[in-house]
Amino acid sequence: MISEEIIEQVRLNTDIADLIGSFVKLRRRGRNSIGLCPFHQEKTPSFSVSSEKQIFHCFGCSKGGNVYSFLMEHERMSFPESVRFLAAKAGIAIPEERTDPGRKEEIENLFYAHEIANQFFRENLRSTRFKSLLNDYLIKERGLNEEIIEKFNLGVAPTGWRGLVEFAVKKNIAPQILTKAGLAGYAENKREYYDRFRNRLMIPIFNLSDRVIAFGGRALGDETGAKYINSPETALYSKSRTLYGLNLNRNDIREQGHAIVVEGYFDLISLWKVGIRNVVASSGTAFTPEQGRLLARFASNAYLFFDADSAGIKAAIRSVDSLYNAGMDVKVIKAPAGDDPDTVARRGADSVRELLKSSQTYLRFRVGEFRSQTRDLVETKDLIADLRELSSKITDSSLRELFQRESADLLGVNISQLSGGVNKTEPTPSAPLSDDDWGERTMKTIEAELVSFLLSHSSLTGRAAKTINAEHIQSDRLRNLYGEILSSYEKTGGQKAAEFIGHLEDDEIRKTATFLATRQWRTDTPGDTLDDYLNKMLEVRVEKPTIKKLKERLKEAERAGDNNSAAKLAAEIYERLKATESVETPSG
C-alpha cells in the first residue's frame, strides 16, 4: 500500500495544468485553462482546468477530478499506477511492492506483457543472428542510426513459432495473457500457443503515457502474407483512437500549432531523423473521427503528407472529413511524382520544408485534382455535394462561410449551391445537472452554493455542521455530498478540494463536487459569508414545503428504507392535514 502522506506529497508536486496539457491542448482564460474535452466529442471547449484548485471539470459531460482521476479515466491507469507514474515524474521515491506479475489486474498484466514483448524483440535485434538486419537493412538501406533505433525501440520477431511464448513464461506471463494482449494465438489442432508475430521487424506503438500498447510488424524476406500486420484490438489498443508518434511529438505539435500527418511508421521515423518532429502517423488507414478529435487537442491545423500516387491522394480525401469535423483547418503537402514522405525526408529537412511552404489548402488541392482529369456534369455535381457536406462540418460560422465562398469561386458556381441545407446552429454543451437533481428551486441555489463554499473553505465545515446537518439538505445528490464533507472534516479537520475529491468513490458525487469546486469565491470575511448562507438555509426552511412535496419525500424515505425519516415525515403530514381541516371546518 502507498501511504496517504506520499499520495498527497505526489499530488502537491504535480501541477494539474502541466499534466493535462501534455494530453490536451489548453489555453489560458482568466484564472483557468480551457480546451476540448478528452472524454466526449465536442467542438466548443467546455473543459476547464484550475491550477489554483488543482482540479479539472468538463461543463459538457461533467467529468472531473484531480490529477489521479484524470490519469485513471484518460489512461485507464489503476490508482496505484497513477501515483507511481506521477511520483516518477516528480522524483519522489515510492517503495516497490513485491507483487507477482501473474497476480496483477488484467490491464496491468497486459501492459506488462507488452513491456516484456518489447524487451524480447529488442534483444533479438541486438543478437548476432540479426546483425545483417540491423546493419544492412535499418542502417544502410533505411538510413537510420543507433540513436533512432533506440529512440523508437525497434526490434525483431524471429521465425520460430514459440520464441515469445517461452520467453514470457520465464517472466511469469501466462500464454493466455499474451493471447489477450494480441501477441499470441492458440492452435486447436496442436493444443498449444504460438507467437502472433514471426519473422518481422517490430515497431512498438505507445500510448500518451509512453507505455507500449501494441505493435506493428513489417515482413522480412519474400514470404507470402501481408507486408504489415498490426496488433488486434485489445483492452489497451484501439487503432481508431491511436496515433503513432503522438507520445513523442505532442509538445512539438502544440508549440508549432500544426501537425504533419503521414501514413506509415517509417515515414514518421525518417522525418523525425532530419529534425521534423511535429508529425503523427495514421498507421496506413484513413483518419477516424476519434483520431481527428485526438489530434485537435494539440493543433489547429493539419498538413496531409501522403504518397504522390493515386492511393495517397485517395487517402488524403478519405481523411479530411474527420479532421474538419474536429474543427481543424486542413492543408495538403503534395510530394513529387514517385516520392513519398520517406524519400523526401532522405534528401534532408530543407526538402520537407520547401514542400510545406508550397502546400495547398485542401479545397484548392481537391478542385485541382478534380480538374486535372476530364469530368462530366454528374461528377461535378457529386463534387459540389461533397464540398457542401464538408462545409457543414466546420463549426465556426465565419470559417464555414469563407470555405463555401472559396468553393463557389473555384468551381464557378453560386454560393447557394454550397450553403444549401447546412445547419448553422452552433453546438452548445449540455447542462451538467438537471433541475430535478437539486430539489426545490428555492433551495437549489442556496444548497449548491453552501456546499460549493465549503469545498473552498473546508476549515469552516465544523461551524456549518453546528447549524445544518445532512438531513436538512433537500437534494439527494447534495445531501450525499454534504455528508461526505462532514465525514471528511471529522477525520481530517478539512481538506483541499482536490484532495477531498480524490477520495470520493461515487462517480456522480465526484462529478457534482468537481462542478461546484470550480466556482471562484472572493471574500475577505469567509465566516460572515458562511453565516449568510446558513441564515438563508434557515429562512427557507421556515417556509414549510407543500404537503405534496412532503409526500414525495416520504416515498423516497420509504424506498430508501429510512424508517426514522419516514416516521417524522408521516407525522408532519398528519399534523399539516389536521391543521388544514381545523381551518376549513367551521366552528359550531
pLDDT attached to residue 75: 79
pLDDT attached to residue 441: 39
C-alpha of 243 from chain center = 13
Mean pLDDT of residues grouped by 10 in the chain (588 residues)?
80 88 86 88 86 88 90 83 85 63 68 95 94 91 92 94 94 94 91 94 91 93 76 89 91 89 92 95 77 83 82 73 82 87 92 92 84 75 85 73 85 82 41 37 70 88 85 82 88 82 84 84 80 77 65 80 80 69 41
pLDDT attached to residue 77: 79
pLDDT attached to residue 579: 59
pLDDT attached to residue 94: 77
CA 575/CA 202 separation, integer angstroms? 78
CA quadruple 267, 270, 272, 274: dihedral, nearest 10: -140
Identity (one letter) of the amino acid at 554? L
CA 193/CA 197 separation, integer angstroms? 12
pLDDT attached to residue 521: 80
Per DSSP, the three-state class of 461 is: helix
Q: Does the reported pTM lie above 0.85?
A: no
pLDDT attached to residue 148: 94
CA 574/CA 567 separation, integer angstroms? 11
Q: Which residue, among 356, 351, 348, has the nearest Cα to 273 in the 3D structure?
A: 348
pLDDT attached to residue 212: 94
pLDDT attached to residue 120: 97
CA 181/CA 115 separation, integer angstroms? 11
CA atoms within 13 A on the CB side of 350: 0
For 192, the grid coordinates are: 498449444
pLDDT attached to residue 118: 97
**Contacts within 8 Å (CB) and 24+ apart, 442-446:** 442/540, 442/543, 443/474, 443/475, 443/537, 443/540, 444/475, 446/533, 446/536, 446/537, 446/540
Q: Which residue, among 305, 303, 394, 395, has the nearest Cα to 345 in the 3D structure?
A: 305
Q: Starting at the edge strand that comes first in sequence, how are the strands of the sheet with 301-304 ordered?
A: 279-281, 258-262, 301-304, 329-332, 360-361
List of domains in the chain: 4-90 (3.90.580.10), 101-237 (3.90.980.10), 246-373 (3.40.1360.10), 435-543 (1.10.860)
Angle in degrees, CA 428, 432, 436, rounded to 5 = 120
pLDDT attached to residue 456: 86
Residue showing cell 520537407: 352
CA 367/CA 357 separation, integer angstroms? 19
Per DSSP, the three-state class of 34 is: strand
Rg for the chain, CA atoms, rounded: 30
